Amino acid sequence: MCTLDRKLLRQILLHIGSAVWFAFFGAVYEHFSHEVYSYWMIYAFAFPLVLGALPYTLCMWRSYFPGERVMQLWNAAILTWTVGSVFKGVLDIYGTTNSLLIVYPVAGGLLAVAAVTVLAFQRSPVKPESCKPQ
């Protein structure tokens, strides 16, 4: 297995693990919330699963390596959206609001735009021939 494949596999496993962690955290938090629920807390696990594990799996399947900077920016965007979802869920369960919640989707969006911009302008996002299957 090529080093680039290992990096993508590591990212896939990291995002699946974080999805499991946030699903567990949401279940435990809502168990003790006296039957007050928030969809933001329930579905916080979907951000790392759908936006993290799925795209990296497609990249690995298509023999495409997005690059280190792109992965770092994209992972930061996913983490920002996930933490914002958990924070929104906590405030919903508590029964209050906060005007600073807008920071999470905006910051995540800016990080995602930065990742796409870096991806568009980087030199060689495709795996070298030595890493492609024979």
CA 93 to chain centre: 23
49 falls within a domain: yes
Question: Would residue 93 count as lying in a domain?
Answer: yes
What residue has token string 């990212």? 11
State residue 58's pLDDT score: 92
How many distinct structural domains can be found in the chain? 1
Residues of the domain holding 57: 3-128
Q: Which pLDDT does position 2 carry in this prediction? A: 75
Residues of the chain with pLDDT under 50: none
Residue 133: inside a domain: no
pLDDT of residue 46: 96
* pLDDT reported for residue 124: 62
